[in-house]
Structure 1
Amino acid sequence: MEKFSNRRKYEVGRDNSIEEDDEYFYIFIDKIMAHIIPKRTFTTPAEMNLFSKQIKECLKNNK
């Protein structure tokens, strides 16, 4: 039996970026497609801030 996975790998490139508003993080994997992550997912503000910092560092280091 074949197993299916919802995991995908995306390369970090020049079109990648992160934006946010009061409720969501938008991690753009190209100019028109983004992963949308609700901020309510995080259990503490510190956890949310760490996530944001790590994503921004990853994108900055891979451009």
Structure 2
Amino acid sequence: VSEPPLFLAKVDLKFPATARPGETLVMEARLERTYGTLFRFQVEARSGERAVAKGTLMLGKGGRP
């Protein structure tokens, strides 16, 4: 059984630093809360010890009810 696709419902990100070409980024996401078929994630992108992006993403299940 295949799952319905997820769609991006909301983006709230801050970019406290700049990533440069050649740097390796480590992405982390943690499910913070669910609202029925919506999912809010706390996300962060790091280059070494430096956060280059952080904030929240809201994803929703697609398809027909």
TM norm. shorter chain > 0.5: no
* Greater share of residues in strand: 2
Higher relative contact order (CA 8 A, sep 6+): 2
TM-score (norm 2): 0.37
